Amino acid sequence: MKSHYRAVVIGGGVVGASVLYHLAKFGWSDVLLVEREVLTAGSSWHAAGGFHALNADPNIAALQAYTIDLLSEVEKESSQNIGMHMTGGISVASAPERWEWLKASYRVFQTMGIDDVHMVGVDEIKRRCPILNTDGILGGLYAEREGHIDPSGTVHAYAKAARLRGAEIVEHNRVLELRHRLDGHWDVVTEKGTIVAEHVINAGGLWAKQVGRMAGIDLPVSPMEHHYLLTEAIPEIQAFDGELPLVVDLEGFTYMRQEQKGLLLGIYEINHKHWNMEGAPWDYGVELIQEDITRISDELALGFSRYPCLDTAGIKRWVNGAFTFSPDGNPLVGPVRGVQNYWVACGVMAGFLQGGGVGKSLAEWMVHGEPEADVFGMDIARYGEFASNREYIRQTTGQFYSRRFVMSYPNEQLPAGRPLKTAGAHADMDAAGARWGVSWGMEVPLYFAPEGFVEKPTLRRSNAFDIVAEECRAVRQGVGLLDITAFSRYEVSGPGAEPWLDRLLACALPRPGRARLAPMLGENGELKGDLTVFNWGDGTWWIMGSYYLRQWHMRWFERHLPEGVKVRDISDDVVGFSLAGPNARDVLEKVTHEDVSNASFGFLACRKLDVGLIRTRVGRLSVVGELGYEIHCRANEHATLRKTLLEAGRDLGIAEYGFAAVNSLRLEKSFGIWSREFTQDYTPAETGMDRWIDFGKQDFVGRHAALKAREEGGHRRLVTLEVDSEDADAGGYEPIWKDGRLVGFVTSGGFGHTIGKSLAMALLDKEAAVTGMELSTHIVGIERGACVIAASPYDPEGRKMRG
């Protein structure tokens, strides 16, 4: 062990070993892994070792596919046997809704270009897995590249391959302390001495919590208990010619694979149990937790009924081990905002499935500045400080664990960790019938319903369909009031504010008293934000964007922040409401003494304005394509502002509406949103955001790459589709076909209540992105016709929002 390294990885499980391997592979050979005991100690040694194709996030599913491909490469490179059994895997469904969900998931895999996944019937399932009781099963999804590996062998393969590339590993060497140096490097104090490291990576697994606190960080992770059993040899398996596939029984909460001539049966029980929420004891290592058969008895009974051969099988061993979980079950990866050169790779509950992708992405981030893929779904910046609250972690990780195999619906709202943050007018909106969703801990209104209404979870159109339709009509024909508390707001000030913004944002900056749509790019020319920038004319500027990206965007701003510029996240202090609709100006005129005519306060203007008793800041813009105003006030004025506007609009048809209606209204205008039409995987040219870029500016982040992409033209275009749908609408990632050939995918969809049509936005191959092109897609697994239509089917000239 040397005294100085470029990077030190803390933790010798599969994730730490993968990070070490990828750093060395990408050219950083001066790296060290330190492990408190031996490689695999903690969670890796007792993992079931299965790998699966399914994941609800297509980007993470793609990284899982990368991991599966990588395993055999690492085995070959290291000459270390990883015990890979490519058995194939079947996810079976015994409920009609689950069967629909599997069929929809199959189409998402086609979108991703994964062509070794197939729908299978009951006869095929029984042929592949004869020990399975198929009573009640409707069908399944078969993936060829699923199976299991030897956990210990896999960790040692990563480690050996890393050593062959120059990396070092020191076992039996616990990290005792981390000290941040003035030069940004770290003193890593270990039992065997102090190391100076330019970068530190927390891959601590069960000890990630403690390793985070060494750097002043409280990570939103918690260990939880997880059971599986191993049987003695089973005669039916001994007689089977071949190896059984891995089987996931989604309604039975179990997974199964063959283990030698017996079975391994794992359980995700509803009655979950946390274990050492503050992190594992330092002296815990290659150990297990006492099994708790009573707690898992219901799910165990389902497993035994699904595999009748278990009734007479001997149980060779129970395994009850701990794994770490994040609130949404996805990993925590990336640089930690405000802590220089500190990186995390933890909360990876499916380490042998996701570890390769995690290691690749983090190493790319460290070596090249950005990961190749969009990894926001596992970026540590998707959480704020609120997520480190112990009770929040307890509720959300428990909810995820218990729902691991439970059917989820796109319109379903889950209760854990809620309500946490509420707007000033929350109680008043609640009394008015608001039904709530959540964004980054903030309660947001989805729609307003009569007393006693309960929305039913579904893959198809909700029973709230007519309620949302009425809200859309109110906005288009009268005036709607929308709570915009859950918009992010950043105040930029200081003598260097204007030149900094001019370099950070790709647009031309607005004049004083004006606002402008503002694409923000990464150095690779791909998108980093679809923002709005306001020039208030008093030396201060605002940037507005998506509320749930607050930590992510602040990390990006601070990464580029020079002297003489101050950026402050004011989203908790400044809130507001939006007025939108043909009567919006009439409402505003009733509560202000100032001239808000179109001549005085035109489209994209912004200014301070007295509204009733409140001194507000108002922007003349709308997210729904109508005459609109975004009215911002202090958080403690929110309820008063709502009351003022509702009273003023009482005789003008004012109605409150929520974000379910916003989705319908914005689709009718072909307005894209972040994480759907715009992501850090897409370029401005292919999404149409380049029309807001000022390429005449000689210096802004990403200019060279974006200009090159624009000149090359790219091969995809963002379009609007009309979909021939009956009782369901596109949601996202559905494949788009032209004569049986995959030509793109849906980015988002819904029903356009004003025009009475099912709509979707989609990224298509350029040759298919032609108005009038007849295509097809699959909605909830059923093939439907689709046609490319001209953008903005409602008010294509934009006269209403400019009027």
pLDDT tens string 520-561: 999 999 999 999 999 999 999 999 999 999 999 999 999 999
pLDDT tens string 149-180: 999 999 999 999 999 999 999 999 999 999 99
Domains and CATH numbers, the chain: 4-325 (3.30.9.10), 656-681+715-803 (2.40.30.110)
Structure tokens at 708: 């090159």
- φ, ψ for residue 575, nearest 5 deg: -130, -160
- φ, ψ for residue 303, nearest 5 deg: -65, -45
| Res. 55 pLDDT band, cuts 50 70 90 | confident
CA distance 738 to 321: 49
- What integer pLDDT is reported at residue 713 of this predicted model? 84
CB under 8 A, 24+ apart: contacts of 406-415: 407/95, 407/97, 407/98, 407/101, 407/250, 408/56, 409/457, 409/458, 409/459, 410/459, 410/731, 411/455, 411/457, 411/458, 411/462, 411/464, 412/457, 413/437, 413/438, 413/446
Tell whether the model's pLDDT for residue 54 goes beyond 80.
no
Q: Are the CB atoms for 401 and 224 separated by under 8 Å?
A: yes
Give the H/E segment covering residue 552: helix 550-559
pLDDT tens string 91-103: 999 999 999 999 9
Percent of the chain with pLDDT over 90: 96
Region 337-361: what's the mean pLDDT?
96
Name the E strands within 203-274.
222-231, 246-249, 254-259, 262-267
Tell whether the model's pLDDT for residue 689 goes beyond 80.
yes
pLDDT tens string 709-761: 999 888 999 999 999 999 999 999 999 999 999 999 999 999 999 999 999 99
Tell whether the model's pLDDT for residue 223 goes beyond 90.
yes
pTM passes above 0.85: yes
Q: Are the CB atoms for 624 and 669 separated by under 8 Å?
A: yes
Q: Are the CB atoms for 250 and 98 separated by under 8 Å?
A: yes
pLDDT tens string 411-470: 999 999 999 999 999 999 999 999 999 999 999 999 999 999 999 999 999 999 999 999
- What integer pLDDT is reported at residue 58 of this predicted model? 79
DSSP-assigned beta bridge partners for residue 196: 4, 187
Q: Are the CB atoms for 684 and 710 separated by under 8 Å?
A: yes
| Res. 59 pLDDT band, cuts 50 70 90 | confident
pLDDT tens string 582-634: 999 999 999 999 999 999 999 999 999 999 999 999 999 999 999 999 999 99
Query: C-alpha distances in angstroms, 252 versus 4, 134, 296, 303, 314?
Result: 51, 12, 12, 6, 21
Tell whether the model's pLDDT for residue 53 goes beyond 80.
no
Q: How far is CA 86 from the centre of its chain?
A: 29
| Res. 115 pLDDT band, cuts 50 70 90 | confident
CA distance 556 to 568: 13
Region 505-529: what's the mean pLDDT?
97
- What integer pLDDT is reported at residue 60 of this predicted model? 81
| Res. 114 pLDDT band, cuts 50 70 90 | confident
DSSP state of 689: G
Region 196-223: what's the mean pLDDT?
98
Closest-CA residue to 676 (of 759, 738, 754): 759
CB-CB neighbours of 643 under 10 Å: 13
